[in-house]
């Protein structure tokens, strides 16, 4: 769902599918909506409305025209162009309490006849949207009429000075000082000059648009003063010179002169590119400007020069004939032909008043000068009418002004009658306030001031009655406070001050009752929560909330109960935590012991395997040492056989052999001394016995080279028996392993 911005306050309007009207979430006003509600189109409208709310009406008009280029039947875009063309800005009315339109670019043509307004009505999606367009246009038309009525009573100007008055920091600009110097110089030259700083000085507190409109429409020359490019494009500066450019397109006799200083002429706005500009820093600038304005606007004219009589002079041949043909064309409703005849008269005498009046009749579609008084709307802003006034003598001027005044009087009478009728039907405060404002806007016509006072009094009475009824129905603190504020706002009307005091007292009473009720409800809720509380946090929070009630009922005792329950729950929790902690520590101890036992078994198993592996290796080494031992013994026997008588020869051969034979057994004995493996025990004992036997045998051999003898064999037998007995236990261990 797309979101549109309010045309009046920029608040959000949620757009529902198919809706043609929407309500602003901020100001509450009702607005017409575009046909489509997609995001892209909503953004286009939001952008255009943003420019208009910033009073950049040219940009907003261009943005709306871009939308129409895509869909020429978009009623909301046509209406946006109307608002931009008439410079409509919505401001909050403090009395009506709703946004109302103000007009910054009044047009001569009524908004009700505007082509884009009629197109908006034609393409409106439904009757409710069409009715909304009509109501808004009617309200703007009333504003427009009021501005035009004021504008028509103002004196015309020769020159309009357009400039930026204040800088961004609020200080006066250099442009303003330069414009004021120019104003004084042109006034000395006899020109009627519009310079807002001075010309609007007496209009403080009033709308400036009627006076700006009159000055723009009557001035023949506009001077646009600027010292910075951005000053030329400032919103209100551009608003004035762009309106004057639009008037120049209709009246070629007008002249706009850009006047710059301390900047380049190429930095002027693009719309001024084709205009002859003036450098204010150039010597002779003031003289050139005064001379140029004098050529366009002319010097002050005397009443005689202005007062060309209705009858043509004899020095102007053909005027009478052309005038007659022009009036005949008016009677036949041939407006273009009549305008052509009167225009030809002006070619002969540009200040011939009846010709200007004739062109006014042709433009307004009336058949005679007298019928001007019967026109539907005042024409005080009309160019031909203003030209006629400027050329007419005093008597004829009064006559012409009388036509316009008759229309204004008739319109004022119609408006007066309508307002009186509306007053008789009014019943609400807003209606009476609106009527009072509209009566005031009639600037003292008939008894409008008295009626405005009466409406304001009725508005106060209606407001008073409504507030009294509201007071009788009020039941809450906020309602009484609002009523007290509104009674105070009536500035002492009737007994409003006493009623305000009464409402304030009732508001305090409601506050006390409401506070007591809230405390009771809070107390009951806390008691219920307390009964169900089962955690430390709940009990602790409840104790704090009971204490915050500052002694209400038995909250102090309940707070103590909650504290006791909190401490009991805390002790219970801590006891459970201690038991759980002890169980955890015991489990960890058992687990560590189990892991230590497993690790010990693992180490023992690894050590057993290592020793077994080492025993195998040593056993292999023992086996490998047996052959050398046997070979040595065999050698010993053979040598003994052949060298029995030569002890030293036998010993010299045997002793090294015996020594060599001892080496592996000695190694086996000392390497395996720290191993209790069965094989190693056997090997160790074998190695010891072998070593002992070899030593004894060697000694016997040396003592008795001829043989071992009986004693030797006895010793060998004893040692062999000991050897066998020494092997019994290790072999049994091996068997058991």
Give the total number of structural domains in the chain. 5
* Phi and psi angles of residue 692, each rounded to the nearest 5 degrees, phi first: -60, -50
Give the side-chain half-sphere CA count within 13 A for 169.
3
CA atoms within 13 A on the CB side of 534: 1
Query: Taking a C-beta distance cutoff of 8 angstroms, is the pair 467, 499 a contact?
Result: yes
Answer whether residue 167 shows pLDDT above 80.
yes
Q: Indicate whether 54 and 99 sit together in one domain.
A: yes
Query: 232 and 355: one domain?
Result: no
Residue 536 lies in a domain: no
For 96-132, what is each residue's pLDDT tens digit? Answer: 677 888 888 888 788 888 889 999 999 888 888 899 9
Task: Say yes or no to pLDDT of 624 above 60.
Answer: yes
Domain assignment present for residue 560? The answer is: no
**603, 663: one domain:** yes
CA distance 333 to 620: 148
The contacts of residue 15 (CB under 8 Å, 6+ apart) are: 1, 2, 3, 4, 22, 33, 37, 42
pLDDT per residue over 587-596, tens digit each?
A: 999 999 999 9
Same-domain check for residues 504 and 424? yes
The answer to whether residue 570 sits within a structural domain is no
Does 292 share its domain with 333? no
Domain interval for residue 336: 305-409
Question: Which of 409, 443, 472 is where one domain is finished?
Answer: 409
* 604 and 656 part of one domain: yes
* Residue 84 belongs to a domain: yes
C-alpha dihedral sign at 52, 57, 63, 64: positive
363 and 484 housed in the same domain: no
Tokens representing 383 are: 């160019």
Exposure class string for 561-575: b at 16+ Cβ within 10 A, else e: bbbebbeebeeeeee
**Which of 351, 381, 409 marks a domain boundary?**
409
Average pLDDT over all residues of the chain: 81
Q: Is the pLDDT of residue 457 over 60?
A: yes
Q: Let me know if residue 538 belongs to a domain.
A: no
Same domain, 403 and 432: no
Question: What's the burial of 280, exposed, middle or buried (CB within 10 Å: 0-12/13-18/19+)?
Answer: buried
Q: Assign 505 a pLDDT band (cuts: 50, 70, 90).
A: very high
In a domain, 556, yes or no: no
162, 193, 423 from 221: Cα distances, Å: 11, 10, 46
Q: What is the largest CA-CA distance in the chain?
A: 198
Q: Who wins on pLDDT, 645 or 464?
A: 464
Pick the range with the lowest mean pLDDT from 307-316, 398-407, 667-676, 678-687: 307-316
Packing angle between helix 353-364 and helix 319-331, nearest 10 degrees?
20
For residue 93, give the 3-state DSSP assignment: strand
User: Which among 381, 370, 377, 442 has a CA at the least distance from the CA of 403?
Assistant: 370
d(CA 250, CA 357): 18
Q: Where are the alpha helices (DSSP H) in 208-352?
A: 209-218, 229-232, 235-250, 285-297, 303-306, 319-331, 335-348
pTM passes above 0.95: no
Domain co-membership, 133 together with 15? yes
117 and 30 part of one domain = yes
DSSP, residue by residue, 176-224: HHHHHHHHHHHHHTT--EE-HHHHTGGGTTS-SHHHHHHHHHH-SEEEE
Torsions phi, psi for 69 (to 5 deg): -65, -30
- Report residue 311's pLDDT band, with 50, 70 and 90 as the boundaries: very low
Q: Please give the DSSP secondary-structure letter assigned to residue 254.
A: -
Which domain CATH number covers 246?
3.40.50.10140
Q: Indicate if 622 and 663 belong to the same structural domain.
A: yes
Adjacent-strand bridge partners of 259: 225, 278
**Boundary of a domain, candidates 148, 171, 194:** 148
Distance CA 473, CA 513 (A): 17
- Tell me the C-alpha to C-alpha distance, in Å, between residue 480 and each of 226, 474, 497, 510, 514: 57, 6, 14, 9, 13
Distances (CA, A) of 370 to 10, 94, 99, 377, 397: 49, 44, 42, 15, 14
pLDDT value of position 714: 63
d(CA 65, CA 568): 80
Clarify whether residues 604 and 731 are in a common domain.
Answer: yes
Residues shown for the chain: 737
Is residue 391 within 8 A of residue 306, CB to CB? The reply is yes
Pairwise pLDDT comparison (564 vs 721), residue with the higher score: 564
Is residue 534 assigned to a domain?
Answer: no
Report if residue 127 sits inside a domain: yes
Q: Are 135 and 157 in contact (CB under 8 A)?
A: no
pLDDT digits (tens, 9 = 90+) for 327-357: 999 999 999 999 999 998 998 888 899 999 9
């Amino acid at each position: 769902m797309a979101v549109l911005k309010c045309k009046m306050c920029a608040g959000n309007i949620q757009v529902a599918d198919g809706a043609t009207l929407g309500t602003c979430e901020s100001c509450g006003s009702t607005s017409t909506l575009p046909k489509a509600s997609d995001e892209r189109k909503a953004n286009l409208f939001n952008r255009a409305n943003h420019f208009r709310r910033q009073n950049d009406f040219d940009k907003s008009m261009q943005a709306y025209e871009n939308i129409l280029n895509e869909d020429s039947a978009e009623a909301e875009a046509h209406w946006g162009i109307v608002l931009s063309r008439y410079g409509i800005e919505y401001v909050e009315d403090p009395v009506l309490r709703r946004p109302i339109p103000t007009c910054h670019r009044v047009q001569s043509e009524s908004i009700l006849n505007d082509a884009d307004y009629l197109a908006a009505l034609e393409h409106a999606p439904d009757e409710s949207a069409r009715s909304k367009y009509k109501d808004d246009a009617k309200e703007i038309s009333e504003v427009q009429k009021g501005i035009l009525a004021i504008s028509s009573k103002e004196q015309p100007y020769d020159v309009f000075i357009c400039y930026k008055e204040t800088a961004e920091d609020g200080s006066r600009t250099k442009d303003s000082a330069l414009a004021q110097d120019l104003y004084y110089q042109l006034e000395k030259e006899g020109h009627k000059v519009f310079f807002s700083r001075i010309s609007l000085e007496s209009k403080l507190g009033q709308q400036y648009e009627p006076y700006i409109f009159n000055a723009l429409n009557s001035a023949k020359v506009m001077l646009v003063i600027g010292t910075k490019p951005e000053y030329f494009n400032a919103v209100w500066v551009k608003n004035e010179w762009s309106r004057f450019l639009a008037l120049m397109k209709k009246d070629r006799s007008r002249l706009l002169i850009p006047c710059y200083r301390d900047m380049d002429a190429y930095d002027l706005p693009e719309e001024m590119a084709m205009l002859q500009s003036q450098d204010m820093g150039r010597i002779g600038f003031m003289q050139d400007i005064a001379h140029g304005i004098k050529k366009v606007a002319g010097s002050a004219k005397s009443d005689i020069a202005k007062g060309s009589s209705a009858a043509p002079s004899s020095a102007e041949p053909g005027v009478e004939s052309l005038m007659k043909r022009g009036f005949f064309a008016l009677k036949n409703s041939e407006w273009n032909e009549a305008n052509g005849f009167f225009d030809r008269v002006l070619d002969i005498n540009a200040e011939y008043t009846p010709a200007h009046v004739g062109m006014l009749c042709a433009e307004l579609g009336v058949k005679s000068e007298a019928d001007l008084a019967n026109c539907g709307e005042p024409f005080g802003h009309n160019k031909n009418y203003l030209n006629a006034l400027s050329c007419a003598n005093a008597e004829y001027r009064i006559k012409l002004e009388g036509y316009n005044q008759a229309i204004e009087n008739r319109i004022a009478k119609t408006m007066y009658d309508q307002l009186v009728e509306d007053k008789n039907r009014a019943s609400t405060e807003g209606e009476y306030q609106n009527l009072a404002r509209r009566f005031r806007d009639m600037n003292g016509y008939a008894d409008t001031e008295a009626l405005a006072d009466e409406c304001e009094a009725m508005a106060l009475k209606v407001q008073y009655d409504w507030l009294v009824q509201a007071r009788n129905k009020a039941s809450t603190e906020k309602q009484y406070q609002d009523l007290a504020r509104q009674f105070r706002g009536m500035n002492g009307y009737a007994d409003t001050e006493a009623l305000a005091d009464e409402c304030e007292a009732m508001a305090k009473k409601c506050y006390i009752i409401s506070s007591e009720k809230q405390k009771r409800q809070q107390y009951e809720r806390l008691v219920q929560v307390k009964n169900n509380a089962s955690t430390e946090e709940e009990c602790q929070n409840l104790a704090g909330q009971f204490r915050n009630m500052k002694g209400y009922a038995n909250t102090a005792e309940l707070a103590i109960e909650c504290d006791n329950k909190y401490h009991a729950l805390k002790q219970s929790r801590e006891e459970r935590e201690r038991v759980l902690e002890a169980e955890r520590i015991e489990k960890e101890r058992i687990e560590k012991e189990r892991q230590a036992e497993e690790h010990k078994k693992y180490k023992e198993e690894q050590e057993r395997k290592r020793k077994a592996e080492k025993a195998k290796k040593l056993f292999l080494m023992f086996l490998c040492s047996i052959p050398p031992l046997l070979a040595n013994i065999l050698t010993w026997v053979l040598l003994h056989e052949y060298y029995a008588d030569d002890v030293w020869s036998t010993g010299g051969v045997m002793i090294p052999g015996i020594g060599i034979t001892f080496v592996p057994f000695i190694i086996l004995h000392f390497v395996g001394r720290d191993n209790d493996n069965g094989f190693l025990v056997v090997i160790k004992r074998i190695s010891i016995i072998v070593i002992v036997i070899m030593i004894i045998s060697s000694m016997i051999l040396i003592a008795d080279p001829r043989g071992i003898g009986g004693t030797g064999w006895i010793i060998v037998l004893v040692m062999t028996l000991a050897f066998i007995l020494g092997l019994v236990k290790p072999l049994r261990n091996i068997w058991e392993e």
